[in-house]
Amino acid sequence: MTEESAITMADDEGRRYHLGLKKGELAQRIMLCGDVDRVDVGKKLFESVEFETRQREFRTITGMFGGKRMSLMSTGIGPDNTEIAVIECGQIVEKPVFIRVGSCGGLQEYLRPGDLVISTGSIAYENTSTYFVPECFPAIADYHIMQNLISACQKLELKHHIGLTATMPGFYGSQGRSTGKFQPLEDFRIEELQRWNVLNFEMETSCLFRLAMIGGARAGAICACFNNRITDEVIGVEDKHKAEEGCLRAAMTALTTLLI
């Protein structure tokens, strides 16, 4: 272990404790997905893969797409895992560029399962990021990444929407899901988010945006809608795979044209 082992938890080769990565193994262009199986979907899109590893829920591949070196990493679920990924990536990559390639629930009737949502910013209902910044601190996407994601969706003819996201700390209680004996103390009012023109909610984006903003990184997010909480529609298996692949293609295409 290094001298600062209790802080960085890095080994003698400089590998990060959770990610299992050291300098040189991770590209500057980084896509973050929650589902570890989504890495398999993305791997098929790479022109070549030079490196692959997995530690815990963090599975990483680094390779080439569109003539650019980039990495795809699974983080598992939630803002706490996102915190680990962003901070440890920043320890081994100078000025990393992140795009979250995730899934979400729709909060507007017109947002159909399978559509993509590009986040302009996020309302932070999670509190992982507030250990670093106050609650009033904004969570905003990098403008150039957002524009590149929009251009990529237009080029690939992918149905997409652009707007505000809400990031929740959990899947059930904080998203207003009452199941059996598990009843939230206070009903979460989805109608309020709908009235505020929030497009979607998920569990990672505000933490990613805030940490990128204070850490000298850049970040964007594009998510595939897997359900609509207003109409109670859920995506089918075939459409889910198609939406995941489209989401990944958009992110990879956006990264090829991004100046860094």
Read off the pLDDT of each residue in 7-24 and give the average, rounded to a whole number: 80
Query: What is the CATH code of the structural domain delimited by 5-175+184-256?
Result: 3.40.50.1580
pLDDT for the residue 1: 43
Residue 238 pLDDT > 70, yes or no? yes
pLDDT for the residue 187: 66
- 184 secondary structure, DSSP code: -
Q: Which among 3-12, 52-61, 207-216 has the top mean pLDDT?
A: 207-216
Q: 99-103, 166-170, 182-186, 238-242: lowest mean pLDDT where?
A: 182-186
pLDDT for the residue 20: 85
Strand pairing category for 68-74 and 218-228: unpaired
- 206 secondary structure, DSSP code: H
Amino acid identity at 5: S
Percentage of the residues of the chain whose pLDDT score is greater than 90: 81
Q: Tell me: the pLDDT tens digits for 39-81?
A: 999 999 999 999 999 989 999 999 999 999 999 999 999 999 9
Q: Where are the domains of the chain?
A: 5-175+184-256
Question: Can you point out the beta strands (E) in the chain?
Answer: 29-33, 48-55, 58-65, 68-74, 97-106, 116-124, 160-167, 198-202, 218-228, 233-234
- pTM as predicted: 0.93
Amino acid identity at 41: V
